[in-house]
Amino acid sequence: MLKKTLICAYLVSGLAAWAQQAPPSLLELDKAARQAITNKNFDQALEYYRTISEREPKSAEAVFQIGWIYNEQKKFDTAARWLKKAAELDPQDIRIQSELGFAYGKLNNADGSVEAFTKATQIKPDSPAAWVGLGDANFELKKDSKAAAAAYAKAIELGNASSSTYYRLGWCLNDLNQHAEAAAQLKKAAALEPKSATVWLEWGYALLRSKQYDEAVQALTRATVLDPKERLGRLYLGRTYLLMKNKAQVVRQIQELKLLDAKSADTLNEELRQANLK
Protein backbone atom coordinates (compact mmCIF):
# COMPACT_ATOMS: atom_id res chain seq x y z
CA MET A 1 0.00 0.00 0.00
CA LEU A 2 2.80 2.38 0.93
CA LYS A 3 4.53 1.62 -2.39
CA LYS A 4 1.39 2.48 -4.38
CA THR A 5 0.97 5.72 -2.42
CA LEU A 6 4.55 6.76 -3.18
CA ILE A 7 4.11 6.00 -6.88
CA CYS A 8 0.93 8.08 -7.07
CA ALA A 9 2.61 10.94 -5.23
CA TYR A 10 5.52 10.80 -7.68
CA LEU A 11 3.20 10.90 -10.68
CA VAL A 12 1.19 13.80 -9.32
CA SER A 13 4.30 15.80 -8.52
CA GLY A 14 5.69 15.09 -12.02
CA LEU A 15 2.52 16.24 -13.71
CA ALA A 16 2.46 19.36 -11.59
CA ALA A 17 6.04 20.17 -12.51
CA TRP A 18 5.26 19.60 -16.21
CA ALA A 19 2.21 21.85 -16.00
CA GLN A 20 4.32 24.57 -14.42
CA GLN A 21 6.86 24.55 -17.26
CA ALA A 22 6.72 27.74 -19.29
CA PRO A 23 5.71 27.33 -22.96
CA PRO A 24 8.48 27.97 -25.47
CA SER A 25 9.10 31.63 -26.17
CA LEU A 26 8.27 33.21 -29.52
CA LEU A 27 11.99 33.39 -30.24
CA GLU A 28 12.40 29.69 -29.52
CA LEU A 29 9.41 28.86 -31.74
CA ASP A 30 10.80 30.97 -34.57
CA LYS A 31 14.21 29.31 -34.26
CA ALA A 32 12.59 25.87 -34.33
CA ALA A 33 10.48 26.83 -37.35
CA ARG A 34 13.49 28.06 -39.31
CA GLN A 35 15.35 24.85 -38.50
CA ALA A 36 12.35 22.85 -39.71
CA ILE A 37 12.41 24.82 -42.98
CA THR A 38 16.12 24.13 -43.35
CA ASN A 39 15.29 20.43 -42.93
CA LYS A 40 12.45 20.73 -45.50
CA ASN A 41 9.98 19.78 -42.78
CA PHE A 42 7.38 22.30 -43.89
CA ASP A 43 4.43 20.80 -42.00
CA GLN A 44 6.32 21.10 -38.71
CA ALA A 45 7.33 24.66 -39.56
CA LEU A 46 3.69 25.50 -40.25
CA GLU A 47 2.73 24.29 -36.78
CA TYR A 48 5.34 26.52 -35.17
CA TYR A 49 4.39 29.61 -37.18
CA ARG A 50 0.68 29.02 -36.60
CA THR A 51 1.40 28.92 -32.86
CA ILE A 52 3.34 32.18 -33.14
CA SER A 53 0.49 33.75 -35.11
CA GLU A 54 -2.08 32.64 -32.52
CA ARG A 55 -0.01 34.09 -29.68
CA GLU A 56 0.99 37.21 -31.62
CA PRO A 57 -1.87 37.95 -34.07
CA LYS A 58 -0.18 41.10 -35.40
CA SER A 59 3.04 39.30 -36.33
CA ALA A 60 3.34 39.97 -40.06
CA GLU A 61 6.50 37.85 -40.11
CA ALA A 62 4.74 34.70 -38.89
CA VAL A 63 1.86 35.19 -41.34
CA PHE A 64 4.33 35.84 -44.16
CA GLN A 65 6.24 32.66 -43.36
CA ILE A 66 3.02 30.65 -43.43
CA GLY A 67 2.22 32.06 -46.86
CA TRP A 68 5.77 31.39 -48.06
CA ILE A 69 5.55 27.75 -46.94
CA TYR A 70 2.26 27.26 -48.76
CA ASN A 71 3.88 28.64 -51.90
CA GLU A 72 6.69 26.13 -51.46
CA GLN A 73 4.07 23.40 -51.16
CA LYS A 74 2.39 24.70 -54.34
CA LYS A 75 -0.81 25.48 -52.44
CA PHE A 76 -1.02 28.85 -54.10
CA ASP A 77 -4.62 29.73 -53.27
CA THR A 78 -4.00 29.22 -49.55
CA ALA A 79 -0.66 31.02 -49.85
CA ALA A 80 -2.33 34.05 -51.43
CA ARG A 81 -4.85 34.33 -48.58
CA TRP A 82 -2.13 34.30 -45.92
CA LEU A 83 0.13 36.67 -47.85
CA LYS A 84 -2.71 39.13 -48.41
CA LYS A 85 -3.23 39.12 -44.64
CA ALA A 86 0.51 39.65 -44.12
CA ALA A 87 0.42 42.60 -46.53
CA GLU A 88 -2.38 44.16 -44.50
CA LEU A 89 -0.25 43.80 -41.35
CA ASP A 90 2.88 45.21 -43.01
CA PRO A 91 2.24 46.87 -46.39
CA GLN A 92 5.86 48.04 -46.67
CA ASP A 93 7.58 44.62 -46.70
CA ILE A 94 8.92 43.91 -50.18
CA ARG A 95 9.19 40.20 -49.45
CA ILE A 96 5.47 39.97 -48.75
CA GLN A 97 4.48 41.83 -51.92
CA SER A 98 6.88 39.79 -54.07
CA GLU A 99 5.70 36.47 -52.64
CA LEU A 100 2.07 37.56 -53.08
CA GLY A 101 2.80 38.51 -56.69
CA PHE A 102 4.31 35.08 -57.23
CA ALA A 103 1.26 33.31 -55.75
CA TYR A 104 -1.14 35.38 -57.85
CA GLY A 105 0.95 34.59 -60.91
CA LYS A 106 0.61 30.86 -60.30
CA LEU A 107 -3.14 31.40 -59.98
CA ASN A 108 -3.21 33.27 -63.32
CA ASN A 109 -4.43 36.37 -61.52
CA ALA A 110 -2.77 38.88 -63.84
CA ASP A 111 -4.09 42.05 -62.21
CA GLY A 112 -3.24 40.83 -58.71
CA SER A 113 0.27 39.80 -59.69
CA VAL A 114 1.02 43.08 -61.48
CA GLU A 115 -0.38 45.08 -58.56
CA ALA A 116 1.72 43.21 -55.99
CA PHE A 117 4.96 43.46 -57.96
CA THR A 118 4.28 47.14 -58.71
CA LYS A 119 4.01 47.74 -54.96
CA ALA A 120 7.28 45.81 -54.51
CA THR A 121 9.07 48.14 -56.93
CA GLN A 122 7.60 51.15 -55.12
CA ILE A 123 8.77 49.87 -51.74
CA LYS A 124 12.29 49.19 -53.01
CA PRO A 125 12.87 50.84 -56.41
CA ASP A 126 16.46 49.54 -56.60
CA SER A 127 15.47 45.85 -56.36
CA PRO A 128 16.25 44.04 -59.64
CA ALA A 129 14.22 41.01 -58.52
CA ALA A 130 11.09 43.12 -58.02
CA TRP A 131 11.41 44.57 -61.52
CA VAL A 132 11.95 41.12 -63.03
CA GLY A 133 8.83 39.92 -61.20
CA LEU A 134 6.86 42.85 -62.62
CA GLY A 135 8.25 42.12 -66.07
CA ASP A 136 7.30 38.45 -65.82
CA ALA A 137 3.76 39.30 -64.67
CA ASN A 138 3.27 41.60 -67.66
CA PHE A 139 5.01 39.21 -70.07
CA GLU A 140 3.38 35.93 -69.04
CA LEU A 141 -0.02 37.03 -67.74
CA LYS A 142 -0.95 40.42 -69.19
CA LYS A 143 0.76 39.83 -72.55
CA ASP A 144 1.79 43.49 -72.37
CA SER A 145 5.12 43.70 -74.21
CA LYS A 146 5.54 47.43 -73.65
CA ALA A 147 5.13 47.25 -69.88
CA ALA A 148 7.22 44.07 -69.67
CA ALA A 149 10.04 45.61 -71.73
CA ALA A 150 10.16 48.66 -69.47
CA ALA A 151 10.37 46.49 -66.35
CA TYR A 152 13.06 44.19 -67.79
CA ALA A 153 15.11 47.18 -68.96
CA LYS A 154 14.97 48.62 -65.44
CA ALA A 155 16.05 45.27 -63.95
CA ILE A 156 19.04 45.16 -66.30
CA GLU A 157 19.92 48.75 -65.45
CA LEU A 158 19.97 47.75 -61.77
CA GLY A 159 22.31 44.83 -62.40
CA ASN A 160 20.21 41.83 -63.39
CA ALA A 161 22.31 40.55 -66.31
CA SER A 162 20.68 37.14 -66.74
CA SER A 163 20.12 35.40 -70.05
CA SER A 164 16.40 35.10 -69.32
CA THR A 165 16.00 38.84 -68.74
CA TYR A 166 17.94 39.76 -71.89
CA TYR A 167 15.94 37.21 -73.89
CA ARG A 168 12.56 38.37 -72.68
CA LEU A 169 13.46 42.01 -73.23
CA GLY A 170 14.58 41.14 -76.76
CA TRP A 171 11.39 39.17 -77.41
CA CYS A 172 9.25 42.10 -76.26
CA LEU A 173 11.20 44.55 -78.42
CA ASN A 174 10.69 42.26 -81.42
CA ASP A 175 6.98 42.22 -80.63
CA LEU A 176 7.06 46.03 -80.56
CA ASN A 177 8.81 46.10 -83.96
CA GLN A 178 11.99 47.51 -82.42
CA HIS A 179 14.13 44.89 -84.11
CA ALA A 180 17.56 46.52 -84.01
CA GLU A 181 17.19 47.15 -80.29
CA ALA A 182 15.94 43.59 -79.85
CA ALA A 183 18.98 42.20 -81.67
CA ALA A 184 21.32 44.02 -79.27
CA GLN A 185 19.64 42.45 -76.22
CA LEU A 186 19.38 38.98 -77.76
CA LYS A 187 23.07 39.04 -78.65
CA LYS A 188 23.79 39.36 -74.92
CA ALA A 189 21.40 36.51 -74.15
CA ALA A 190 23.14 34.26 -76.68
CA ALA A 191 26.53 35.07 -75.17
CA LEU A 192 25.26 33.93 -71.77
CA GLU A 193 23.34 30.91 -73.05
CA PRO A 194 25.06 29.81 -76.28
CA LYS A 195 23.35 26.42 -76.43
CA SER A 196 19.79 27.75 -76.45
CA ALA A 197 18.15 27.28 -79.86
CA THR A 198 15.29 29.50 -78.68
CA VAL A 199 17.62 32.43 -78.03
CA TRP A 200 19.44 32.06 -81.37
CA LEU A 201 16.12 31.81 -83.21
CA GLU A 202 14.77 35.01 -81.68
CA TRP A 203 18.07 36.79 -82.32
CA GLY A 204 18.08 35.58 -85.91
CA TYR A 205 14.53 36.87 -86.38
CA ALA A 206 15.54 40.28 -84.99
CA LEU A 207 18.52 40.41 -87.35
CA LEU A 208 16.32 39.42 -90.30
CA ARG A 209 13.75 42.09 -89.54
CA SER A 210 16.44 44.73 -89.06
CA LYS A 211 17.96 43.77 -92.44
CA GLN A 212 21.22 42.45 -91.04
CA TYR A 213 21.09 39.49 -93.38
CA ASP A 214 24.58 38.02 -93.05
CA GLU A 215 24.33 38.01 -89.27
CA ALA A 216 20.80 36.61 -89.50
CA VAL A 217 22.05 33.66 -91.55
CA GLN A 218 24.66 32.87 -88.90
CA ALA A 219 22.21 33.10 -86.00
CA LEU A 220 19.43 31.13 -87.70
CA THR A 221 21.85 28.46 -88.90
CA ARG A 222 23.05 28.10 -85.33
CA ALA A 223 19.45 27.71 -84.15
CA THR A 224 18.85 24.88 -86.64
CA VAL A 225 22.08 23.16 -85.63
CA LEU A 226 21.11 23.28 -81.96
CA ASP A 227 17.60 22.07 -82.76
CA PRO A 228 17.40 20.29 -86.14
CA LYS A 229 13.61 20.06 -85.81
CA GLU A 230 13.19 23.81 -85.46
CA ARG A 231 10.65 24.69 -88.18
CA LEU A 232 10.71 28.45 -87.76
CA GLY A 233 14.49 28.52 -87.96
CA ARG A 234 14.35 26.93 -91.41
CA LEU A 235 11.51 29.20 -92.52
CA TYR A 236 13.26 32.39 -91.40
CA LEU A 237 16.52 31.16 -92.87
CA GLY A 238 14.79 30.58 -96.21
CA ARG A 239 13.27 34.06 -96.10
CA THR A 240 16.64 35.58 -95.32
CA TYR A 241 18.21 33.86 -98.33
CA LEU A 242 15.24 34.99 -100.41
CA LEU A 243 15.96 38.62 -99.53
CA MET A 244 19.63 37.97 -100.33
CA LYS A 245 18.46 36.57 -103.73
CA ASN A 246 20.22 33.26 -103.07
CA LYS A 247 17.78 30.93 -104.83
CA ALA A 248 19.83 27.76 -104.31
CA GLN A 249 19.80 28.19 -100.53
CA VAL A 250 16.07 28.97 -100.53
CA VAL A 251 15.41 25.73 -102.39
CA ARG A 252 17.57 23.88 -99.88
CA GLN A 253 15.55 25.25 -96.98
CA ILE A 254 12.32 24.24 -98.74
CA GLN A 255 13.61 20.69 -99.02
CA GLU A 256 14.55 20.66 -95.34
CA LEU A 257 11.15 22.05 -94.40
CA LYS A 258 9.35 19.30 -96.31
CA LEU A 259 10.75 16.88 -93.75
CA LEU A 260 9.56 19.01 -90.85
CA ASP A 261 6.37 20.78 -91.86
CA ALA A 262 4.82 20.56 -95.32
CA LYS A 263 2.70 23.68 -94.82
CA SER A 264 5.77 25.83 -94.04
CA ALA A 265 7.55 24.33 -97.05
CA ASP A 266 4.62 25.25 -99.28
CA THR A 267 4.57 28.78 -97.85
CA LEU A 268 8.25 29.34 -98.56
CA ASN A 269 7.93 27.78 -102.00
CA GLU A 270 5.11 30.19 -102.86
CA GLU A 271 7.17 33.14 -101.64
CA LEU A 272 10.03 31.95 -103.88
CA ARG A 273 7.66 31.68 -106.85
CA GLN A 274 6.35 35.20 -106.32
CA ALA A 275 9.89 36.59 -105.98
CA ASN A 276 10.65 35.20 -109.46
CA LEU A 277 14.35 34.78 -108.77
CA LYS A 278 16.52 33.78 -111.72
In sequence order, what DSSP letters do the residues of the chain get, joined into one string?
-HHHHHHHHHHHHHHHHHHHSPPPPHHHHHHHHHHHHHTT-HHHHHHHHHHHHHH-TT-HHHHHHHHHHHHHTT-HHHHHHHHHHHHHH-TT-HHHHHHHHHHHHHTT-HHHHHHHHHHHHHH-TT-HHHHHHHHHIIIIII--HHHHHHHHHHHHHTT---HHHHHHHHHHHHHTT-HHHHHHHHHHHHHH-TT-HHHHHHHHHHHHHTT-HHHHHHHHHHHHHH-TT-HHHHHHHHHHHHHTT-HHHHHHHHHHHHHH-HHHHHHHHHHHHHHT--
Look at residue 10 in the predicted model and tell me its pLDDT: 42
Task: Identify the segments of the chain with pLDDT beneath 50.
Answer: 1-19
- Write down the domain spans for the chain: 27-78
Look at residue 21 in the predicted model and tell me its pLDDT: 66
Q: What does pTM read for this prediction?
A: 0.87
Look at residue 20 in the predicted model and tell me its pLDDT: 53
CATH for 27-78 is 1.25.40.10
